[in-house]
Amino acid sequence: MSFADQVLAVNNDLPIRTDQPVHNGKVRSVYWLTAADSARLIKEKNYDVASDAPLAIMVISDRISAFDCIWHAENNLQGVPGKGAALNAISSHWFKLFKQQGLADSHILDIPHPLVWIVQKAKPIMIEAIARQYITGSMWRAYSQGEREFCGIKINDGLKKDQKLAELLVTPSTKGILKDIPGVPAVDDVNITRKNIEDNFLSFNFTHVEHIAQYEKLLREGFNVISEALADVKQIFVDTKFEFGYVTDKAGNEKIIYMDEVGTPDSSRIWDEEQYTQGNIVENSKEDFRQFLLKHFPDADVLLNKDRMLERAELAKNNALPVDALMKISETYCQIAEKIIGEKIVISKDPKAEIILILKEQYQLIDSIN
């Protein structure tokens, strides 16, 4: 069996019963269940959600996205073996830990297969909150060019690249294009200040202005939980992205939950602690793959310059990378996942067939196998 057979590259063509279009993201596809199937599963599985809550099947692929493009390798390798299972396992682990420690629930209700979550629909808070414990990446690039204020927060002179910050820095940005907010451009992923959020909390989907402090508390507590757990396996939690939303539980209470993914090599930087103490940066995250791409192509500007997005898309489409580049990512993701969850990541031999069988036999969500 080739590596290509073990990769779930296309995840939007499963015969899952739905009456809505499949939402296909860069890495995940979402199948919204019919109202009847949602209600049936809530009753059968006793999920702690409102009886009429919409549910979805979320299927993660093994596609690798970097610089807003999907990359592939030679020998028809359209993704990274084990990547999806590793990401799901890591996120599921952190979400479970958050709940155990009394922080908040997540959108995940059930995990039928390593590549699949059953999730509840949430009203998303329209903020991507980046929590930073070290100055690196885009923040360092801006700082090295003289910038000293980030999302309304001023930081000191004299910092060095990859240095630990005096305290956790939260730098929020918009999730999607938000219109008619004074001082906030109507473009995706633009940095915002806490005052922007306070003055326009309804535009960011907060129900009450007091919930801003609650989301910040959950963000900081969640970061600390992951940081301490990673320290136990000699890893440094450098930075990550958090997303939150609102759901209603079985008793009719509205609550804020964690959603999307958290603490994964896709959404975070994770450094090897021993190497860092020796002055070296060893990435256990997708950053390593980004650096590979920047060195692999002679014109790095095409990957960094948003004005050259069309060229970048053509570059990704027309260039098969060396197989070793994707297999190195497979090794990195699986190894860090195994350190975090304490179990082996099992790579499916035929992931699509496995998913269909489980959703058919255990959840009755497959009408026919095409």
Domain end: 258, 277, 296, which one? Answer: 277
Query: Is pLDDT at 370 greater than 80 in this prediction?
Result: no
- pLDDT > 70 fraction of the chain, expressed in percent and rounded: 99
Query: Is pLDDT at 314 greater than 90 in this prediction?
Result: yes
Query: Is pLDDT at 189 greater than 90 in this prediction?
Result: no
- Same domain? For 99 and 58 the reply is yes
Distance of CA 309 to the CA centre of its chain: 22
Q: What number is the average pLDDT over the span 22-30?
A: 93
Do residues 285 and 269 touch, judged by C-beta distance below 8 A? yes
- Same domain? For 346 and 241 the reply is no
pLDDT score of 294? 95
- Same domain? For 194 and 82 the reply is no
**pTM of the predicted model, to two decimals?**
0.93
- Same domain? For 132 and 262 the reply is yes
- Same domain? For 36 and 95 the reply is yes
Query: Is pLDDT at 120 greater than 70 in this prediction?
Result: yes
Does 234 fall in a domain? Answer: yes
- Same domain? For 168 and 59 the reply is no
Q: What number is the average pLDDT over the span 9-32?
A: 95
Q: What is the pLDDT of residues 57-112, one digit of tens each?
A: 999 999 999 999 999 999 999 999 999 999 999 999 999 999 999 999 999 999 99
Q: What number is the average pLDDT over the span 339-365?
A: 94
pLDDT score of 246? 97
CATH of the domain at 268: 3.30.470.20
pLDDT score of 161? 96
How far is residue 279's CA from residue 6's CA, in Å, rounded to a whole number? Answer: 37
pLDDT score of 16? 97
Q: Which domain holds residue 155?
A: 123-277
**Of 210, 150, 202, 198, whose CA–CA distance to 178 is shortest?**
202
Confidence of residue 349 (pLDDT cuts 50, 70, 90): confident
Tokens at 166, concatenated: 């005096």
Identity of the residue numbered 277: T
Do residues 352 and 14 touch, judged by C-beta distance below 8 A? yes
Give the count of domains, the chain.
2
CATH of the domain at 57: 3.30.200.20
Tokens at 2, concatenated: 């080739």
> Is 65 buried (19+), middle (13-18) or exposed (0-12) by CB count in 10 A?
middle
- Same domain? For 116 and 192 the reply is no
Domain end: 257, 277, 297, which one? Answer: 277
pLDDT score of 348? 87
> Is 137 buried (19+), middle (13-18) or exposed (0-12) by CB count in 10 A?
middle
Do residues 127 and 191 touch, judged by C-beta distance below 8 A? no
How far is residue 258's CA from residue 265's CA, in Å, rounded to a whole number? Answer: 17
How far is residue 103's CA from residue 233's CA, in Å, rounded to a whole number? Answer: 22
Tokens at 304, concatenated: 């960094």
The mean of the pLDDT values for the chain is 94
How far is residue 98's CA from residue 187's CA, in Å, rounded to a whole number? Answer: 32
- Same domain? For 145 and 248 the reply is yes
Does 283 fall in a domain? Answer: no
Tokens at 297, concatenated: 């192509």
Confidence of residue 149 (pLDDT cuts 50, 70, 90): confident
Confidence of residue 369 (pLDDT cuts 50, 70, 90): low
Confidence of residue 368 (pLDDT cuts 50, 70, 90): low
Q: Radius of gyration (Cα) for the chain, nearest Å?
A: 21
Query: Is pLDDT at 188 greater than 90 in this prediction?
Result: no
Q: What number is the average pLDDT over the span 136-153?
A: 90
- Same domain? For 144 and 79 the reply is no
Does 286 fall in a domain? Answer: no
Neighbours of 144 (CB within 10 A): 12
- Same domain? For 130 and 272 the reply is yes
pLDDT score of 1? 52
Q: What number is the average pLDDT over the span 38-62?
A: 96
- Same domain? For 266 and 127 the reply is yes
pLDDT score of 81? 94
- Same domain? For 252 and 350 the reply is no
Query: Is pLDDT at 240 greater than 60 in this prediction?
Result: yes
pLDDT score of 56? 98
Does 319 fall in a domain? Answer: no
pLDDT score of 260? 93
pLDDT score of 3? 74
How far is residue 205's CA from residue 208's CA, in Å, rounded to a whole number? Answer: 9
- pLDDT > 90 fraction of the chain, expressed in percent and rounded: 86
Confidence of residue 152 (pLDDT cuts 50, 70, 90): confident
> Is 342 buried (19+), middle (13-18) or exposed (0-12) by CB count in 10 A?
exposed
How far is residue 306's CA from residue 292's CA, in Å, rounded to a whole number? Answer: 19
